[in-house]
């Protein structure tokens, strides 16, 4: 492996191998052995990317149990986003939360867990369109620690623009639209960076390949507005809330590319990345380099909350 590839592998927090899946999955209305949760190669979603997905974390608690983070919020967003593809999902948000609890109990992993629900067009018709097709939900899980390092990332501004909301809905987690993120992050990894930052069509910051972003500058924490092709991240909203509670000034505003090179701190948020500081962008050290007091303060508060150590945020967690 080249030095560049080693740096990219290290930066993204793993060796790229597929995770070991849980023994069971939710598929076609029942918990089944994971190996039996199969779709046809002719399935509409497989051919055209007509699916909606979520990423949900469950965390090992200090008392040895496991709790799902923002379970209801994730499934409410999930069902709301299915409307973008004219889906009719039989399960309610409350039912999906309970199904997920049963799935994690059945799989029995006493560790940090990643949960992936997918709503998909189950028809084997190859016609283009969205209506007149059966819609189904599947959910699977697997153990997962840090998706990327939470001590410092190297990032680059991508040549690929963030998908435009007038082309493919940027506010929904549409499976097909993540080709955009895959292209950007693959180029970043090939160049030795751990993450890609995408711009809007008019050159303002949007988000990272699979994370929202914040800059800290002059005592202000700023994040791009949702109107700049930004996914309404649940972790984004939580971090804005805890930052405000901690006394920081938080604003949503348009952010220019050059602010990446001039800001005091830069960090990503998301279910996968959690709260991750960025130490370098395009070879420019962020701020003083490896000194991110605001980011690390927010990260500490966030991790205390997800581990069940902070009673102020007990409502974030659903015990398995």
Are 168 and 237 in the same domain? yes
CA–CA dist 153, 195 (Å, integer) = 7
Same domain, 295 and 204: yes
Q: Which of 123, 143, 163 is the last residue of a domain?
A: 143
Q: How many domains does the chain have?
A: 2
User: What's the CATH number where 169 sits?
Assistant: 3.20.10.10
pTM reported for the whole predicted model: 0.92
Catalytic residue among 12, 77, 162, 173: 173
**Predicted local distance difference test score (pLDDT) of residue 36:** 96
**Domain, as residue range, for 257:** 153-309
What residue has token string 């499976």? 175
pLDDT of residue 118: 98
What was the pLDDT predicted at 17? 55
Domain boundary residue, one of 118, 143, 168: 143
pLDDT, averaged per 10 consecutive residues of the chain (320 residues), comes to: 36 53 94 96 97 98 96 98 97 98 96 97 94 97 89 95 94 96 97 97 96 95 97 98 97 98 97 96 90 95 96 96
Give domain status of residue 163, yes or no.
yes
Q: What is the DSSP letter of 65?
A: -
Interatomic CA distance for residues 76 and 45, integer angstroms = 21
121 in active site: no
**C-alpha span between 196 and 11 (Å, rounded):** 12
By three-state DSSP, how is residue 318 classified?
Answer: strand
**CATH number of the domain within which 73 lies:** 3.30.470.10
Measured CA to CA, the distance from residue 230 to residue 224 in angstroms comes to 7
Q: Tell me, what's the pLDDT at 18?
A: 66
Same domain assignment for residues 157 and 304: yes
Residues 122 and 226 both lie in one domain: no
Q: How many helices (H) and strands (E) does the chain have?
A: 8, 17
Residue 124 and residue 186 share a domain: no
Which residues, at least 6 apart from 109, have a Cβ–Cβ distance to it below 8 Å?
22, 66, 141, 142, 143
Residue-level pLDDT at 14: 42
């Amino acid at each position: 492996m080249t030095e560049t590839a080693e740096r990219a592998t290290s930066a993204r927090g793993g060796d790229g191998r597929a995770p070991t899946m849980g023994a069971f999955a939710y598929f076609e209305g029942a918990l089944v052995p994971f190996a039996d949760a199969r779709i046809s190669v002719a399935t509409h979603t497989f051919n055209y990317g007509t699916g909606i997905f979520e990423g949900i974390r469950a965390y090992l608690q200090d008392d040895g149990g496991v709790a799902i983070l923002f379970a209801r919020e994730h499934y409410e967003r999930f069902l709301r986003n299915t409307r973008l593809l004219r889906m009719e999902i039989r399960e309610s948000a409350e039912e999906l939360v309970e199904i997920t609890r049963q799935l994690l109990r059945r799989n029995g992993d006493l560790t940090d867990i990643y949960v992936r629900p997918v709503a998909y067009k189950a028809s084997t018709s190859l016609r283009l369109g969205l209506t007149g097709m059966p819609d189904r939900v599947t959910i699977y899980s697997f153990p997962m620690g840090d998706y990327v390092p939470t001590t410092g990332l190297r990032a680059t501004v991508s040549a690929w623009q963030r998908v435009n909301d007038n082309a493919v809905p940027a506010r929904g987690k549409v499976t097909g639209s993540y080709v955009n993120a895959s292209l950007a992050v693959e180029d970043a990894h090939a160049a030795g960076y751990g993450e890609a930052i995408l711009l809007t069509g008019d050159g303002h910051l949007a988000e990272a390949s699979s994370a929202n972003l914040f800059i800290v500058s002059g005592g202000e924490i700023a994040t791009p507005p949702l109107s700049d092709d930004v996914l309404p991240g649940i972790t984004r909203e939580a971090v804005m809330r805890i930052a405000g509670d901690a006394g920081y000034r938080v604003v949503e505003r348009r952010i220019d590319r050059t602010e990446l090179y001039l800001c005091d701190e830069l960090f990503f948020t998301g279910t996968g990345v959690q709260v991750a500081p960025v130490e370098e962008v395009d070879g420019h050290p962020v701020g003083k380099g490896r000194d991110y007091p605001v980011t690390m303060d927010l990260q500490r508060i966030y991790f205390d909350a997800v581990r069940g150590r902070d009673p102020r945020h007990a409502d974030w967690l659903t015990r398995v």
